[in-house]
């Protein structure tokens, strides 16, 4: 095993304690439903340091990560400290240097938080990547991006060149282009793609932290996780403030904002511009593999992980998508299920046949052409698909469909009785990539 790379040089000023929590973003940012649009400026290194200050020397970053209970922000929300320990132990046992991967291939069409961080705060992500590499003893890092994310590639390559010119002592960053499909950001697909295979989820269950890219212990972190690590390396656990970075999808755009983790869903929507005197019918929480919740249940639900777990849900990909009153939840669910079915890896029966069957029945339900037993079929099939896929992709689709059958129960019954609502054929509210 190679020795741990040297940490960035520090001065006495670097060791000054932080006096306040540091934000990921300073203000909400509104972007189009697809892509990021123009007018977003990436912080250069000088602006980055002026905004966030230099690194603070922390004796044991892993302990600080453990103390604040940091979890991965890519959707799985697995404890970060546990993954770091597994990587370090696996590297010691195997004698192979670990690899740290920054996963910037945000496959969730409704989310823009990771893209925005890379486009406007690339140095914060790269700081976290370097700090994490030092913490686990990695001498190489990778930044995994969708190949068609041109704006992000420009921002990242520019930032990497700035850091090299500044003489920062940190592991080399290799930027790798991934296919631009939904599952390319799944951690198994990242490992498989970097090992020379197709960027599709792996069917084997050996954790990447034990045996990942080319057999090396591999730590795959979402870019928000790395940005939060960079903040923690500056403030220490004592100045940490728990926040949630969310994308609110409403009014034909996506708004990315950072809110206190104790803030309820209602407050996040208001901060994103949702009218104060208008109540949505429901909210899709977590993204396309998340859960529909009726407004009376979602409105006052805190965004903290504990509160969400207690409610049987999670932030998933960090998406809040309010469904306006009068819109058709059945139609939105049918379209999203068809998208998820078309985005499958096609490596197992639940993906190839199960999701397609769900999508077909939901489409009949949307148009009012459902058979008498179709709703019961949906309930039965979701039970048969759940947990049986080669990856977790079918499980997310099942979660979303099951929640829709409960949240939109009256609408589902009306559609089943061949009485679809007037909004069933309206334009879709939630985005899916063109051609899906």
Mean pLDDT split into 10-residue runs, the chain, 436 residues: 43 44 91 88 95 77 94 83 96 97 94 96 97 95 95 97 95 95 93 96 86 97 96 90 96 96 97 96 96 97 93 94 97 97 91 95 96 94 92 94 98 94 93 76
Contacts of 83 (CB under 8 A, 6+ apart): 72, 209, 219
In three-state secondary structure terms, 218 is strand
DSSP state of 264: B
Q: What is the pTM of this model?
A: 0.92
Q: What pLDDT shows up at residue 14?
A: 43
**Distance of alpha carbon 296 from alpha carbon 280, whole angstroms:** 9
CB neighbourhood size of 38 (10 A): 7
**Distance of alpha carbon 226 from alpha carbon 237, whole angstroms:** 15
Which tokens is 163 given?
């850091």
Q: Which residue has the tokens 């893209």?
A: 115
Q: What pLDDT shows up at residue 435?
A: 60
Alpha-helical runs (H) found in 184-238: 187-194, 223-235
**Distance of alpha carbon 78 from alpha carbon 353, whole angstroms:** 29
Identify each DSSP E strand in 76-233 by its residue range: 99-103, 140-146, 172-178, 218-222
Q: What pLDDT shows up at residue 5?
A: 43
> The dihedral of CA 70, 181, 378, 33: what is its sign?
positive
**Torsion angle defined by CA atoms of residues 423, 427, 430 and 435, in that order, rounded to the nearest 10 degrees:** 140
**Distance of alpha carbon 58 from alpha carbon 232, whole angstroms:** 9
Q: What pLDDT shows up at residue 229?
A: 95
**CA proximity to 110, closest of 172, 31, 17:** 31
- Chain center to CA of 11: 35
In three-state secondary structure terms, 334 is helix
Note whether 148 and 34 are within 8 A (CB).
Answer: no
Q: What pLDDT shows up at residue 3?
A: 43
- In what helix (H) or strand (E) does residue 284 lie, and over which residues does it extend? strand 282-285
Ramachandran angles phi, psi of 390, nearest 5°:
-70, -20
């Amino acid at each position: 095993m190679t020795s741990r790379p040297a940490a960035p040089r520090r001065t006495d000023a670097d060791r000054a304690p932080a006096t306040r929590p540091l934000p990921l973003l300073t203000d909400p940012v509104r972007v189009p439903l697809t892509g990021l649009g123009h007018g977003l400026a990436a912080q250069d290194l000088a602006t980055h340091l002026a905004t966030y200050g230099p690194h603070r020397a922390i004796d044991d970053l892993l302990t600080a990560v453990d103390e604040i209970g940091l979890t991965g922000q890519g959707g799985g929300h697995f404890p970060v400290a546990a993954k770091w320990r597994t990587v370090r132990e696996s590297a010691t046992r195997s004698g192979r240097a670990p690899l740290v991967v920054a996963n910037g291939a945000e496959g969730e069409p409704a989310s823009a938080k990771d893209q925005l961080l890379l486009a406007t705060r690339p140095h914060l992500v790269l700081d976290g990547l370097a700090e994490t590499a030092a913490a686990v003893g990695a001498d190489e890092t990778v930044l995994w991006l969708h190949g068609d994310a041109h704006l992000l590639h420009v921002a990242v390559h520019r930032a990497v060149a700035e850091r090299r010119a500044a003489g920062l002592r940190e592991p080399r960053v290799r930027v790798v282009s991934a296919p631009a499909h939904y599952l390319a950001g799944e951690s198994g697909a990242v490992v498989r793609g970097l090992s020379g295979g197709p960027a599709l989820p792996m069917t084997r269950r050996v954790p990447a932290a034990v045996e990942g890219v080319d057999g090396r212990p591999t730590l795959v972190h979402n870019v928000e996780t790395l940005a939060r690590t960079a903040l923690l390396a500056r403030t220490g656990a004592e100045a940490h403030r728990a926040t949630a970075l969310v994308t609110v999808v409403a009014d034909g755009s996506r708004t990315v904002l950072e809110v206190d983790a104790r803030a309820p869903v209602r407050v996040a929507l208001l901060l994103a511009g949702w009218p104060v005197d208008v109540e949505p019918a429901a909210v899709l929480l977590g993204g396309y593999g998340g859960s529909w919740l009726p407004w009376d249940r979602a409105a006052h639900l805190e965004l903290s992980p504990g509160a969400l777990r207690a409610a049987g849900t999670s932030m998933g990909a960090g998406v809040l998508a309010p469904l306006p009153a009068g819109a058709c939840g059945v139609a939105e669910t049918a379209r999203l299920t068809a998208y998820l079915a078309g985005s499958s890896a096609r490596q197992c029966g639940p993906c190839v046949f199960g999701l397609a069957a769900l999508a077909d029945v939901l489409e009949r339900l949307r148009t009012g052409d459902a058979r008498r037993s179709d709703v019961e079929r949906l309930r039965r099939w979701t039970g048969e698909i759940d947990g049986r896929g080669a990856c977790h992709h079918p499980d997310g689709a099942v979660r979303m469909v099951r929640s829709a059958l409960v949240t939109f129960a009256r609408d589902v019954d009306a559609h089943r009785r061949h009485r679809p609502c007037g909004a069933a054929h309206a334009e879709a509210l939630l985005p899916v990539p063109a051609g899906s």
